[in-house]
């Protein structure tokens, strides 16, 4: 029986980076095949070529034994390849039915389409109301739309791109059930992820990419997480250096019954949030995206001001009513999740980006005028201390890679030596080397006496960094406890919260 999909010698070059270098592997019919690798390893590029979004510079693709060229996604779908993207291609203002109709190539009258959708949902246990507007759906429900859309094509190969990054552990199990059923019916699955424990649980084979090259094709059930991680990352894993036997100092940040108000249709406000962080302590806040993390960060940074002055205090001083500039003067710095357009301005130089947050704490403003020399000097220090690969303080933020920009941003805040530092998703989309550097810097800052809050979706990161842990769900924060006292299941349930209850129903 020929391989469902076979790639031979696939190569793709972009300006400045060889995204895929002579990659070859095969997927059997009915196989769940993992494509494993860090960010930037070349997984997305490879899959885009399989789906026809791009063309390889050289190499051959074989489908059921026959060589093919896939010029565009329509052709891919005609072959029988379906894809569920990591970032959903959904239209918020339109209904589920309209969204699915848009993804179809054939023009099917809507009544017939609706009937077929209900049939698919029935077969695979994916519950959805076709007439609901997408904007009202949860993330897990939105993914179901994508899956139904792909399944309507009766695919022979289903590509899943990082499908679980936004799901609770319970939703992940539901997804796995669907995928196993599909595989048992003969559909092959190409499962892209960097989550080792999921791949071990789900997949039959794993192909590992690193730096655009194929490293290995192996059986995840035989390998250990550590061995696969080492193949993904390359060098031996370094453990974060945390000084042992630390004790914490005075409470630096006290948050008391913090609440925000709903600002748009789709965001989640925080309600009745209380916690304390002491000097030298790192508090981790875990949670699936969309549970109020942004509101929490904005409420702490000062972009959203509180009606209650005492809701947030630093070193005993009430700051709940202050704006971001005032809070920085009192020693609170924050790093939001989004690098581009929020934490930094892509079109501005790094020096100008330093002026954005550091100008008051570090005396860059004199009588309304900006001291550009001081800004340049500080930026130079950040670049040097954090090994930011940039041409200098005059380089535009947009010219830096994601990891380097994140290092610069973290460095810009950390070198201001804040009393309290709040960061959100500090290493999202960042390569392993830069992530390790950022983690070490945070730990060092805490050791110097600052209080740190880390909001993250990455449980591994939180378990590495945090001393204490709390979980945010639907805008409410659980009690914070020492991280060692949590088990993965417990965290998962707390993250799931309402979702978990729905799943059981």
Partner 1 sequence: MQFRLEKRPEPSRLMLYGTPVAAVVLTMFIGAIIFSLIGYDGIGAVREIFFTPLTNAFKWQDLGVKAAPLIIIGVGLSIAYRANVWNIGAEGQYIMGGLGGWWTLPAMMIAGVAGGAAYAAIPALLRTRLNVNEILTSLMLTYASVQLIYYLVRAPWKDPMGMGFPQTRRFASEALLPNIIPGTIVHAGVPIAIIVALVAWFIMTRSVFGYQMRVVGAAPHAARYGGFSENKTIWLALLVSGGLAGLAGMLEVAGPFQRMVPGFPTNYGFTAIIVAFLGRLNPLGVIFAGIVMAITFVGGEIAQTTIGLSNSATGVFQAMMLFFLLAGDILVRYRVRRVTPQVEARA
Partner 2 sequence: MSLELTIAIIVTVVGASTPILIAALGELVVEKSGVLNLGVEGMMLVGAITGFVVAFTTGNHYLAILLAAAAGVATSMIFGFLTLSLSANQTATGLALTIFGTGFSALAGQGYSARPVTLLGPLFPAELATHPIWRVLFGYSALVYFSLAMVFAVWWFLKKSRAGLILRAVGENDLSAHSIGYSVIGVRYAAVAFGGAMAGIAGACFPLLLTPQWAERMTAGRGWIAVALVVFASWKPFRLLAGAYLFGLVMTMELYAKASGGPLSAIPAELWSAMPYLATVVVLVLISIRRDASTNAPACLGRPFLPSN
Tell me, residue by residue from 106 to 125, as one string, x for binding to partner 2 by CB under 8 A and - for no binding.
-x------------------
53 binds partner 2 (CB under 8 A): yes
Burial of residue 288, with CB atoms counted within 10 A of its CB: 0-12 exposed, 13-18 middle, 19 or more buried: buried
Pairing of strands 476-477, 317-318: unpaired
Query: Which value, to the nearest 10 degrees, does the dihedral of the CA atoms of residues 457, 459, 461, 467 take?
Result: 110
Phi, psi of 394 (to 5 degrees): -85, -10
Query: 150 or 355: whose CB is closer to partner 2?
Result: 150
Burial of residue 243, with CB atoms counted within 10 A of its CB: 0-12 exposed, 13-18 middle, 19 or more buried: exposed
Q: Tell me if residue 100 falls in helix, strand or coil.
A: helix
Query: 56 or 103: whose CB is closer to partner 2?
Result: 103
Partners of 208 in the beta sheet? Answer: 36, 216
Binding site residues, partner 1, CB under 8 A = 15, 55, 68-72, 75, 78-79, 301-303, 323-325, 328, 334, 336, 338, 341-348, 352, 355-357, 359, 365, 368-370, 372, 395-396, 399
Of 17, 34, 24, 31, nearest in space to 60 by CA: 24
96 binds partner 2 (CB under 8 A): no
103 binds partner 2 (CB under 8 A): yes
Among 70-78, 282-290, 315-323, 423-431, the segment contacting partner 2 (CB under 8 A): 70-78
Query: 161 or 298: whose CB is closer to partner 2?
Result: 161
Among 32-40, 68-76, 179-187, 388-396, the segment contacting partner 2 (CB under 8 A): 68-76
93 binds partner 2 (CB under 8 A): yes
Q: Which of partner 2, partner 1, none binds 390 (CB below 5-8 Å, type-dependent)? A: none
The number of residues that bind partner 2 (CB under 8 A) is: 19
Q: Which two tokens stand for residue 441?
A: 């810097």
Query: 107 or 111: whose CB is closer to partner 2?
Result: 107
Query: Which value, to the nearest 10 degrees, does the dihedral of the CA atoms of residues 335, 337, 338, 339 take?
Result: 50
Tell me, residue by residue from 264 to 283, as one string, x for binding to partner 2 by CB under 8 A and - for no binding.
-x------------------
Q: Which of partner 2, partner 1, none binds 324 (CB below 5-8 Å, type-dependent)? A: partner 1
Phi, psi of 302 (to 5 degrees): 110, -5
User: Does residue 183 contact residue 31 with C-beta atoms inside 8 Å?
Assistant: yes
Contacts to partner 2 by CB under 8 A: 53-54, 72-74, 85, 88-94, 98, 101-103, 107, 265
């Amino acid at each position: 029986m020929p391989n469902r999909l076979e790639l031979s010698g696939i190569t793709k070059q972009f300006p400045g980076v060889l995204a895929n270098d002579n990659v070859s592997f095969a997927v059997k019919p009915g196989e769940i095949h993992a494509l494993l690798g860090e960010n930037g390893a070349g997984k997305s590029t490879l899959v885009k070529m399989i789906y026809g979004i791009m063309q390889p510079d050289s190499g051959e693709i074989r489908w059921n034994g026959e060589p093919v060229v896939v010029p565009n996604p329509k052709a891919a779908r005609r072959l029988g390849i379906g894809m569920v993207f990591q970032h959903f291609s959904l239209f918020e203002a339109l209904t589920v039915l309209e969204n699915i109709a848009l993804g179809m190539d054939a023009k099917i009258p809507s009544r017939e389409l609706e009937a077929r959708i209900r049939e698919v949902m029935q077969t695979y246990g994916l519950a959805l109301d076709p007439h609901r507007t997408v904007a009202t759906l949860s993330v897990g429900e939105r993914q179901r739309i994508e899956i139904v859309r792909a399944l309507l094509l009766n695919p022979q190969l289903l590509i899943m791109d990082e499908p679980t990054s936004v799901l609770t552990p319970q939703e992940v199990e539901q997804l796995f059930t669907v995928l196993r059923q599909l595989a048992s019916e003969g559909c092959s699955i190409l499962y892209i992820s960097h989550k080792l424990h999921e791949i071990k649980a789900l997949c039959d084979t794993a192909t590992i990419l690193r730096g655009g090259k194929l490293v290995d094709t192996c059986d995840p059930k035989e390998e250990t997480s550590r061995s696969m991680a080492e193949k993904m990352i390359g060098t031996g894993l370094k453990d974060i250096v945390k000084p042992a036997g630390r004790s914490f100092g005075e409470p630096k940040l006290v948050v008391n019954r913090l609440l925000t108000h709903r600002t748009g249709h789709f965001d989640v406000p925080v309600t009745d949030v209380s916690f304390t962080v002491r000097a030298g302590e790192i508090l981790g806040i875990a949670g699936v995206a969309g549970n109020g993390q942004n509101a929490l960060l904005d409420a702490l940074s000062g972009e959203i001001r509180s009606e209650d002055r005492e809701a947030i205090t630093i070193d005993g001083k009430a700051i709940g009513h202050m704006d971001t500039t005032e809070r920085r003067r009192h020693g609170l710095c924050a790093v939001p999740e989004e690098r581009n357009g929020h934490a930094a301005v892509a079109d501005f130089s790094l020096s100008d980006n330093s002026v954005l947050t550091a100008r008051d704490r570090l005396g860059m403003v004199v009588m309304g005028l900006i001291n550009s020399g001081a800004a340049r000097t500080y930026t130079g220090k950040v670049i040097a201390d954090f090994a930011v690969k940039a041409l200098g303080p005059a380089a535009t933020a947009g010219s830096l890679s994601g990891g380097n920009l994140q290092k610069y941003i973290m460095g810009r805040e950390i070198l201001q030596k804040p009393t309290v530092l709040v960061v959100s998703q500090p290493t999202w989309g960042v390569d392993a080397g830069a992530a390790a550097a950022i983690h070490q810097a945070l730990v060092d800052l805490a050791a110097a006496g600052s209080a740190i809050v880390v909001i993250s979706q990455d449980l591994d990161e939180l378990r590495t960094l945090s001393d204490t842990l709390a979980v945010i769900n639907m805008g409410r924060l659980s009690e914070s406890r020492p991280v060692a006292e949590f088990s993965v299941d417990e965290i998962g349930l707390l993250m799931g919260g309402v979702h978990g209850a729905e799943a059981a129903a």
